[in-house]
Structure 1
Amino acid sequence: MNAFNQLDLRQRYNVIVFITLAIAGCLLVLCLTLAFENYANDYTNYYWQEHTGIFAHSVEYSVTLGAKTKSEAIANSFAADKNVLKAAIYTNQHALLANSGKNVDCTTSKQTFTQPFVAEASNHWCFYAPIYQDIPTGGYEQKSANSLPPLFLGYVELVVSKTKLRTLLHQILAVSGLVVFVFLALIFHGVRRFSGTFTQPLVDIIKILDSFAHGNPGGRVAFSGSSELTAMGITFNDMLSRIEENERILEQKIADRTSELKIALENSEAANQYKTQIVATVSHEMKTPLHIIQNCLAASLDALPDTAENELMREFHQRALMRATDLNDLINNILLQGKLEAKSVAVKLMPLDMLPLMQACADKITPYLKRKNNKLKILGKECSIVSDAELLSHIINNLLNNACKFTVDGEITLDWWLDESGLKIQVTDTGCGIPAKFHDKIFESFWQVDMSMGRKYGGTGLGLTVTKQFVELLGGDISVVSSERKGSVFSVKIPESMFR
């Protein structure tokens, strides 16, 4: 089968036609042989049965007279035929009267010989015919009803060889086989030659397509013959030309589009870099006076006596200081986003105690908790890890600030633990929650659920974006489970490999 699959279309067609013709030829020779054999057997039986009847009629008078010499002479004349192996004459008592030829025994189950019959052996036939006195002309028919029945005198036996018949059949088989072979060979040659008219164009088309598929365009077919084949060749060549032209146009469009995209990407990168530089410059310039304002407000607040007369002034100072702190956090997130986009944030691993770090983050958010009248519950226990303290602090601070921002008169839970897969951090709040359709968008830059200018909650929309990027820098991932008006649960997973 593998060798057959390696042949081309024309060769496969020729092989199939050859096998089909060979099978048809064998069946034809077999049918002819069987037909000739049946016909020869029937004809031979009929001929020798008639010849045996003539033999019986010839010896009628010699048997009637009991002339043994005359009977032997007649038997010898019939045995002279080269196909006759034995010619014998028997009386009605089954006694041998005359015999000529070879001593060939014929086995038959017949007990009476009053009717002609034949017994067949593997190499010969044994024909028998009765001898009657006064047999009417034309055969062995009975006489009329008012006549006396013929007198049964005996019977003759004629043994005929099958050799000549078999030789004839073999000759017929050989000649018919040769004729069929020559006839089928001529048919195969004609079909093979004629099939090339149809299969060769297909072979040429396959070669051209294979060459085209391997990146070698330009090939064409040249069909000759009927007008249909010529038209097919012209159509196929036109199709190849159109494909090559379309491919050339497509490649040109791709090249032009790629060039346009490259220019656009370069412009975008330049604009992004310029934007990052502007944002960093502006943010840096804002932080300098902001730090002065924070320091002045803190110093002024410390200088005001904690008395009833100064309570209102101290409250104003505290609010201004908190707003300045919020503005400083927003500017820090913008600066961090710029560093992350520039990929200039490096991870610095060091041994850390989680409880002091978490407590420091909780202390930092205390004023914000008081302003929103929220409670913070810390559930984690002391554990040691190897990580980046600054990145972890940013992650925790942003999650706590985000939870406090959207929670009023509620509860915020900070929990962490170590397991076989690594460090798990979980921040839970009882705030307004996040609709399920926005879960994938809250980590996008500058995105908020309410994007209007008059929105209830402020911010730049960078807190969760920066948090996610910091988590990914540590090789972890962050997820959220939330529903509207039922609070949110932010989970951070940092793999164990970061602690080794």
Structure 2
Amino acid sequence: MKVLDRYNLQQRFNLLIFVSIILSSCFLIGFMHKLISNYINDYTSHYWREHTKTFAESAIYAVILGSTEQSESVAHSFGSDKNVLGASIYNNHGEPLASYGSRYSCNVVQLISIDELRYVDNRDSWCFYSPIYQDIYLGYVELVISKAEYDLVMRKLLLGSILITLIFSLFFIVIVRRLSRLFTSTLMEMATVLNKVSIGERGNRVHFSGSPEINNMRITLNEMLANIEVTETELEKSVEERTSALKIALESSKTANVYKAQIMSMVSHEMKTPLHAIGGYLQLLAERLPDDPMYSENRALHTKALIRVNDLNSLIDNILLHAQLEADRYEVALSPVAVAQLMHNCVENVAPLLTRNRNRIEVIGAEAMFVSDSEVLRHVLNNLLSNACKFTVDGVITLNWRFSQAFLIIQVTDTGCGIPAEYCDQIFDAWWQVDMSLSRRHGGHGLGLAITKQFVQRLNGDISVEPNIVSGTIFTVRLPNPRV
């Protein structure tokens, strides 16, 4: 290919045509030579086979009489042809009775008897054998024919075929070169102009001419080039305007990032600090309330207040965690994890939620060690189990896990209200909930499942949700083992 790159399109096209014609001519000459050679060979051998049969019939009486003189006369008669190298007559014991011409060797084993017409095709000659019969087998004749005349005819035919094919090929090459110049010059001019356009030059046009189709091509291409230049001008103007808008947007984004950092700082310090203080004061007040029935309402209000404080604290933690994940500043730390112990710890964490909605939980799975981030895995399980407890009342929640090849598969199944199938692809979006109204029955902020999915992805796993056959939902987490 590097050699062909030295030539232009027209030269490569002409070279391709030339090579194709040469190869086609060689194939044609070879095919014609083979065909004619087979035909002449068959025709010649057929002629001499008949001649050998006539020779055998002429030698019958000489062989019957056992006359050497008469046998030599017959052999001389058939061996006098200029193409015959030798003519011999043999009796039924394979002994020669007469021979004429040179003792040409046919390179065959001495024959004792021949029951049918045979011939041997040598490089320079044919050797024909025919039996002599007169009610019984009397012997056979041998006729050796030269291939000199046959070879001469084949050489003349080969030279004639080569000459005719050469003339035809030269004529075809001249015609093709004329036609190729018309098409390749057009393509080369188009390629040159398009090359200049690709590097940003303007004002280039093609000027080739020819048939009506080629003229239409020239007109269409020039119109297209003009439209491209107009479009480029408009695009440059649009890019300048868009660049200015992007600069303004970038400056606004930088300002927004500054405000975002300030808000995160305020959320993490200015809001969490007083929130922890309020929670502490509420706990102190609850501890100092007298153990008297008349203060039961106060204790209930304190309990509700503490629950709301914890919910608000959880919301702030999730907001900060979501921001940290979005900024890609959270790193997992892999270590061996006792799976069963982790699962039971997570079940203990959601025990108050189970009691609140009168649910029961089933835990199914065997003890095993798995390499993962225990805190991330704990967060994922707590979120899934908390959601299952929140949306299930007087039902059953099932936590089961199993190992499949190099994967840990965890499923959390509930019999709660379930998720409509059309929303299954949206529940992992941040701030999204099935019921977005202010009067919704179940609380929440829509960050739990979004964070859960991001955590699962950090562990190179995937999470999916599907409706339960009875009622409720099935969440499936699939995590690979990094050591496998």
Query: Shorter-chain-normalised TM-score: which range?
Result: 0.5 to 0.7
Q: Secondary structure at the match of 1:335?
A: helix
Residue 414 to residue 14, structure 1, CA distance change in 2 (3 Å): closer
Q: Secondary structure at the match of 2:293?
A: coil
2:276 maps to 1:295:
no
2:172 maps to 1:207:
no
Which of the two has higher C-alpha Rg?
Answer: 1
Partner of 2:239: 256
Match for 1:411 among 378, 396, 410?
396
Residue 248 to residue 452, structure 1, CA distance change in 2 (3 Å): farther
Q: Secondary structure at the match of 1:400?
A: helix
Residue 223 to residue 473, structure 1, CA distance change in 2 (3 Å): closer
Match for 1:466 among 438, 442, 451?
451
2:433 maps to 1:452:
no
Q: Secondary structure at the match of 1:497?
A: coil
Q: Deviations over 1:162-183 (max 9, x none)?
A: xxxxxxxxxxxx9xxx9x9999
Partner of 1:443: 428
1:336 Cα deviation after fit: 0.5
Partner of 1:270: 254
Match for 2:302 among 314, 317, 321?
317
Note the 1:47-66 alignment, pairs <5 A.
none
Residue 236 to residue 497, structure 1, CA distance change in 2 (3 Å): same
> In the alignment, is the contact (CA less than 8 A) between 2:338 and 2:367 conserved in 1?
yes
How far apart, CA to CA, are the structure 2 residues paired with 1:384 and 1:192?
A: 79
Matched to 2:393, the amino acid is V
Residues 380-389 or 439-448, more deviating: 380-389
How far apart, CA to CA, are the structure 2 residues paired with 1:354 and 1:184?
A: 85
2:267 maps to 1:283:
yes
1:337 Cα deviation after fit: 0.6
Matched to 1:401, the amino acid is S
Partner of 2:474: 489
Note the 1:82-97 alignment, pairs <5 A.
none
Q: Deviations over 1:446-484 (max 9, x none)?
A: 121222333222222111010111111122221222259
Residues 460-469 or 289-298, more deviating: 289-298
Q: Secondary structure at the match of 1:464?
A: helix
How far apart, CA to CA, are the structure 1 residues paired with 2:231 and 2:323?
A: 39
Q: Flag structure 2 segments of 5+ consecutive residues without an equivalent.
A: 5-11, 34-76, 84-155
How far apart, CA to CA, are the structure 1 residues paired with 2:363 and 2:20?
A: 84
1:373 Cα deviation after fit: 2.6
Q: Deviations over 1:5-61 (max 9, x none)?
A: 974577589879999x999xx9xxxxxxxxxxxxxxxxxxxxxxxxxxxxxxxxxxx
1:235 Cα deviation after fit: 4.1
Note the 1:57-456 alignment, pairs <5 A.
196-208=177-189, 223=208, 228=211, 234-247=215-228, 253=235, 256=239, 259=243, 263=247, 266=250, 270=254, 273-274=257-258, 276-284=260-268, 285-418=270-403, 420-456=405-441
Matched to 1:429, the amino acid is D
How far apart, CA to CA, are the structure 1 residues paired with 2:458 and 2:388?
A: 22
1:420 Cα deviation after fit: 3.8
Q: Secondary structure at the match of 1:441?
A: coil
Matched to 2:352, the amino acid is P
Residue 308 to residue 282, structure 1, CA distance change in 2 (3 Å): same
How far apart, CA to CA, are the structure 1 residues paired with 2:310 and 2:380?
A: 17
Q: What's the TM-score, normalizing by structure 1?
A: 0.57
Residue 263 to residue 18, structure 1, CA distance change in 2 (3 Å): farther
Q: Flag structure 1 segments of 5+ consecutive residues without an equivalent.
A: 27-105, 108-120, 124-173
> In the alignment, is the contact (CA less than 8 A) between 2:189 and 2:208 conserved in 1?
no
> In the alignment, is the contact (CA less than 8 A) between 1:339 and 1:345 conserved in 2?
yes
Q: Secondary structure at the match of 1:310?
A: helix
Matched to 1:205, the amino acid is T
Residue 375 to residue 306, structure 1, CA distance change in 2 (3 Å): farther
> In the alignment, is the contact (CA less than 8 A) between 2:205 and 2:225 conserved in 1?
no
Residue 221 to residue 438, structure 1, CA distance change in 2 (3 Å): same
How many residues were matched structurally? 363
1:384 Cα deviation after fit: 3.8
How far apart, CA to CA, are the structure 2 residues paired with 1:422 and 1:303?
A: 51
1:198 Cα deviation after fit: 3.5
Matched to 2:281, the amino acid is C
1:492 Cα deviation after fit: 1.7
How far apart, CA to CA, are the structure 2 residues paired with 1:469 and 1:479?
A: 13
How far apart, CA to CA, are the structure 2 residues paired with 1:454 and 1:480?
A: 26
Q: Secondary structure at the match of 2:294?
A: coil
1:293 Cα deviation after fit: 1.8
